[in-house]
Structure 1
Amino acid sequence: MEAAKETELWHAMRATYRREPDASRLLEKEGLECFIPMQHKITVRKGRRVRVLVPVIHNLIFVRACPSDLQRVKSKAAYLQYITDTRSGRKIIVPENDMRRFIAVAGSYSDQLLYFQPEEVNLSKGTRVRITGGDFEGQEGVFLKVKGARDCRVVIEIQGVIAVAMATIHPDLIEVIR
């Protein structure tokens, strides 16, 4: 009898000591999907201003893999660690839909995106909405006022890990989800 096929899950992980690029290369070499939220920053190199793509939060990496495959890769890289929920102590597993939605937004690497620690945003104060046009058409999130922005933004959260607020979206492109 054949063993049941394990399901691929999105794991929230840390690559300690800013080794997320090493982790990404290792995971891709092993055929595992991963995502590191990145954004452009202006930095000075050799006296010149250059625009570089850097991780939004150092050490953060999301990995899509079967638990056994991830454990096998993890045994080769001690710096790759699971992020656990502080209350339950369980590994943080991100639902597929939430992760796809987050990648659709964060994967644009837009300078207009604002990132927050989960405790910095109170999603219960906002309104659930769907975007009906533009670059993020079809995405769902919570419409609320966030720190560092003059107007309300649509926020997508990865529970307990990170939240991203999109660029200002024209009210005509937002519909309330009941």
Structure 2
Amino acid sequence: MIQRSTGSPSNIREWFAFYIKPRHEKKAAARLEEQFKIYCPLKEERIRWSDRWKTVVKPLVPGYIFANVTEPEWLHLLQDPSVFRTVCFKGKPAIIREREMEAMKKVLGETDCEDIRLEPLNKGDRVEITGGSFQNVNGVVVTIKGNRASLRLDSLNCAMTFTVSAAILELV
């Protein structure tokens, strides 16, 4: 069940991300769009086959679809054979804010956007800091707690470890 900290009623629509079986994104989205508000961004890509070029439509975010649903609809959507489960944060279904979905739609709608993957940071990943005092500095993830990551910077022949928001880190 969806556990909201505000105790809001189950008839409020909220955005959720769902894990989908590989190569089922378009089929699942088409099937579920008849009942729910679904967002599955697609892109056209030219593929070279052995005898010709072919334009295919692929999901821009492979393995995921997004749905704006109420709690009863969320439960019903999970019954679809192509849906594995809801993307969770700290053991609870991750609710995506409306403004975050709008920002994602804007970014994904740009024509120069290449392949996008939603990948969590892992211990040992080499990252670049994209904001703050250490902007454009590379480091290695030492630990991850919630939305914070401890990094090790190997500069000046000594190891410096500090914690930053994971939101300003990019995999290198």
Q: TM-score range by the shorter chain?
A: 0.5 to 0.7
Distance of 1:126 and 1:73 partners within structure 2? 38
Distance of 1:98 and 1:121 partners within structure 2? 26
Tell me by how many angstroms 1:124 deviates: 5.9
Tell me by how many angstroms 1:33 deviates: 1.2
Tell me by how many angstroms 1:69 deviates: 1.2
> Alpha-carbon deviations, 1:114-149, whole Å to 9, x = none?
52535389696327xxxxxxxxxxxxxxx979xxxx
In structure 2, the partner of 1:132 is none
Distance of 1:8 and 1:84 partners within structure 2? 17
- Aligned sequence identity (%): 18
In structure 2, the partner of 1:115 is 116
Distance of 2:22 and 2:10 partners within structure 1? 34
Distance of 1:18 and 1:121 partners within structure 2? 29
Structure 1: gaps (5+ residues): 128-142, 146-159, 161-178
Pick aligned residue for 2:82 from 75, 79, 82 = 79
Instruction: Say if 1:114 and 1:78 are closer, same or farther in 2 by CA, change over 3 A.
Output: closer
Tell me by how many angstroms 1:95 deviates: 0.6
Tell me by how many angstroms 1:37 deviates: 3.1
Instruction: Say if 1:111 and 1:39 are closer, same or farther in 2 by CA, change over 3 A.
Output: farther
1:97 aligns with 2:128: no
Distance of 2:126 and 2:72 partners within structure 1? 34
- Superposed, 1:121-160 pairs within 5 Å as 125-126=130-131
In structure 2, the partner of 1:37 is 41
Instruction: Say if 1:105 and 1:12 are closer, same or farther in 2 by CA, change over 3 A.
Output: same
Q: Which has the larger radius of gyration?
A: 2
Could you tell me whether the CA contact under 8 Å between 2:61 and 2:115 is conserved in 1? no
Task: Using the TM superposition, name which of 11-20 and 41-50 deviates more.
Answer: 41-50
Q: TM-score, normalised by structure 1?
A: 0.57
Name the aligned partner's letter for residue 13 of structure 2: E
In structure 2, the partner of 1:11 is 16
| Structure with the higher helix share, 1 or 2 | 1
Structure 2: gaps (5+ residues): 1-8, 138-165, 167-172
